[in-house]
Chain A
């Protein structure tokens, strides 16, 4: 294949700019070492083929000018046709999207929240935590993309103290392939905000060459609803928030979004950031065999410094307080009774 590309490069009709792009794509795919390596195994060739195909549709379609675009499409197709001939063993046509999913560790929603006596936050010590339910939906969607052969790898990321590794194990047991734990000092974690998490996610998305980032639309503890949007902004990728249905059509994603008063269908180009809404899917329970397998799946650990993110807080929490206690209602016997009560209360 590379010989073929090289041959193409010699041809005058093939613009050198296109060859550079071809090369940069291979670099982007993490196969730069192959550029100078001639005797590749059939397997690697098929992987490259998939990567090329995907990367092409994802990142080139928007960037190349029309003529370039066209000619490259033709050339790539030649490559695509050639590759299986060279390697008859790889018949399965598999796409190779890599999905990055953010999963936050939050206080379990069945636990009663208690505010700390000094009003600086809520009590978290000795309180049961679990994965943010919306992030569970995000993981489930990523795993389903993989089961549909749309995605090739699902990477789960969690930013927080050491206990986040339990959350990541849950994600792995649900079907994620590997996990990255961004280890945050418990002291810094108290003030960690969506802007920091977005920066982590954006950096990891770039490092890992992710094609899709999925996060829950919000976490049930701080209800910020910011991480997905800011990650998209930092990456300069399109975003599809509050997704209730995701489908892949050719190189694009068709996403149905939940908006006030109805649904909105949009199309986004890849790479993209999605945020999962409640109705996107119903997350599965991890089965015993998968829970056991998850123990052996790789989990990398990184620090904010590794990712070059400054976790200094931009906000100061002034006070955290319980919501006002709801007063008991009253029953009235008749309409007259109701009117009298309303009058007494000065409401009518």
Chain B
């Protein structure tokens, strides 16, 4: 029993172990190395917000007794983002438990003109979830109740602070799955996912959150609670207000509850991990997979050789197949009939082998193996952190130019980076381009930006496919959005948050044209 338990710990609980290492790793870096955002960006001016006083603290203590954090060591984690590229100097973290408490907090902050950062699991990748200066952090940590799950319609209603992985486990007991899945599922909050319109690994199959979120409840800066917590799929009564909050990155309101449509859990899942010799082949395989796998295709991911090297060298993961291919493809199929799916998958793979599109590969239908293969893909982001500083880009590019960007960046930054890797959701035209160097270097940064954004704009891509704009990318918004669109956004912001207290210095550009 003991030995078997050890094995299970070693293999199946890989994920929780992984999270632990992630966390310890992250903590050890916090204090010494991350410079304050206000120091790294000296041109940035603090907005005209009030400063926190002792009186404010006592008011908060009255509103949410015992859930006001002030110790600086305790605040470190809330002030620094996961990528350790941004650090704020907030003096206080508030941890409300109910919508009413959130409402009271925001009402007070709005009256006092105190700036606020809503924070979920703090796994954002664009510096959107941490304070830039001394904004008050309002964490959804304690708002973690699952309110209801209707097994027939598959509607889940829960509070914003529920951890995505926990929700996944919860709905799995009723044979359902969450419509989104991402590498950070062990710590990210559903409220944060909604606020950033997180994409992830299942988008190809289940679409974006704009479709799968049926309703939500959010608190405006004024403290007013906007109740759109519908559980209906069809509801054309007026403007669909909830859509405003999805992807607003906490600048329009703080999401407190959500109702989400959960698809049926597929009975049969197959994962193939393939090696091929050129990016053209990756595209060929994608085209064929849409045709041959059709409705059961649920994910199509790719990794290049440098990404595989991160998993192999930094994470010590063994690669399921020969690790010397220039490109790797991960295909997942999900369906209702195992025999049917397997036959389809095997037929497709056989065809790909015979045509020489795939040189080598493996396929798994056992959950444990599937989990392992996925971990090679999902843990790349974590593995990159071992290199030091990571310049992270998440772009959408039409497939015809997709990998060209990685090649262009690699050539341009040669000698200034440890590595430049490309991986991502080919199925959604979404590329994750990452460069690393031992520490932050302005020279490297100047080589990357704005070159990379210009390249993307030239090829009519989006400079942020799923990570959002947050703090780091907000001034590049015009690369992907027209001036009129940005002006409309700004008007909406003025209406819903006239004092601009919600997540300032994020999403909207410094100067609206």
Contacts and interface: CB of A to CB of B under 8 A. Distances in A.
B321 A109 contact: no
Contact of A218 (B3, B273, B358, B369): B3
A217 interface: yes
Nearest to B353: A288
B362 A287 contact: yes
Contacts of A130: 366-369
B166 interface: no
A126 B267 contact: yes
A6 interface: no
Contact of B4 (A129, A220, A285): A220
Contacts of B8: 109, 220
A218 B371 CA distance: 23
Given A108-B368, A130-B368, A220 B363 contact: no
Contacts of A109: 7-8, 11-12, 368
Contacts of B358: 288
B361 interface: yes
B366 A108 contact: yes
Interface in B330-385: 346, 349-350, 353, 358, 360-371
B495 interface: no
B11 A285 contact: no
A223 B3 CA distance: 9
A218 B7 CA distance: 11
Nearest to A167: B366
Interface in B8-56: 8, 10-12
A292 interface: yes
B234 to A, nearest CB: 33
A289 interface: yes
A285 B318 CA distance: 10
Interface in A97-141: 108-112, 126, 128-131, 133-134
Contact of A285 (B349, B364, B365): B364
A306 interface: no
B320 interface: yes
Interface in B219-257: none
Interface in A251-295: 277-278, 282, 285-289, 291-292
B355 to A, nearest CB: 13
B1 interface: yes
B59 interface: no
Contact of B360 (A131, A225, A287): A287
B353 A128 contact: no
A133 B5 CA distance: 12
**Of B4, B362, B363, most A-chain CB atoms within 10 Å:** B4
Contacts of A217: 3
B26 to A, nearest CB: 21
A223 B4 contact: yes
A115 B3 CA distance: 21
Nearest to B370: A110
A107 B480 CA distance: 49
A292 B7 CA distance: 30
Interface string A183-227: 000000000000000000000000000000000011010010100
A112 B172 CA distance: 10
B361 A287 contact: yes
Interface in B167-210: 172
Interface string B263-276: 00001000001100
Contacts of A287: 321, 360-362
A110 B360 contact: no
A285 B1 CA distance: 26
B6 interface: yes
Contacts of B4: 218, 220, 223
A249 to B, nearest CB: 28
A14 B4 CA distance: 55
A287 B353 CA distance: 11
**Of A109, A110, A128, A220, most B-chain CB atoms within 10 Å:** A110
A128 to B, nearest CB: 5
B483 to A, nearest CB: 50
Contact of B367 (A110, A218, A220): A110
**Of A131, A287, A291, most B-chain CB atoms within 10 Å:** A287
Interface in A288-304: 288-289, 291-292
A278 B361 CA distance: 25
Contact of A278 (B10, B12, B364): B10
B368 A288 contact: no
A217 B11 CA distance: 17
A285 B321 contact: yes
Contacts of A225: 3
A291 B363 contact: yes
Contacts of B3: 217-218, 223, 225, 277-278
A220 B366 CA distance: 15
Contacts of A291: 346, 362-363
A223 B368 CA distance: 18
Given A109-B7, A110-B12, A292-B350, A285 B362 contact: yes
Nearest to B361: A288
**Of A223, A278, A288, most B-chain CB atoms within 10 Å:** A288
A348 B12 CA distance: 37
Contact of B371 (A110, A133, A286): A110
A288 B12 contact: no
A292 to B, nearest CB: 6
Contacts of A288: 274, 349-350, 353, 358, 360-363
Contact of B369 (A282, A285, A289): A285
A109 B8 CA distance: 7
B371 to A, nearest CB: 5
Interface in B284-339: 318, 320-321
Given A108-B366, A288-B349, A288-B358, A282 B7 contact: no
Contacts of B1: 223
Contacts of A285: 273, 320-321, 362, 364, 369
Nearest to A289: B353
A175 to B, nearest CB: 13
B367 A108 contact: yes
Contacts of A218: 3-4
A133 B11 contact: yes
B362 A286 contact: yes
A218 B358 CA distance: 37
B374 to A, nearest CB: 11
Contacts of A111: 367
A158 to B, nearest CB: 15
B94 to A, nearest CB: 19
B398 to A, nearest CB: 30
B361 A128 contact: no
A131 B366 CA distance: 9
10 contacts: A108-B366, A108-B367, A110-B367, A110-B368, A131-B366, A133-B368, A134-B7, A285-B362, A288-B360, A291-B346
Given A133-B11, A278-B10, A291-B346, 17 more contacts: A109-B7, A109-B12, A110-B12, A128-B367, A130-B368, A133-B7, A217-B3, A223-B4, A285-B273, A285-B369, A287-B362, A288-B349, A288-B353, A288-B361, A288-B362, A291-B362, A292-B353
- The 10 A-B residue pairs with the shortest CB-CB distance, nearest first, are A130-B366, A110-B367, A285-B320, A285-B362, A110-B368, A288-B361, A108-B367, A109-B12, A220-B4, A223-B1
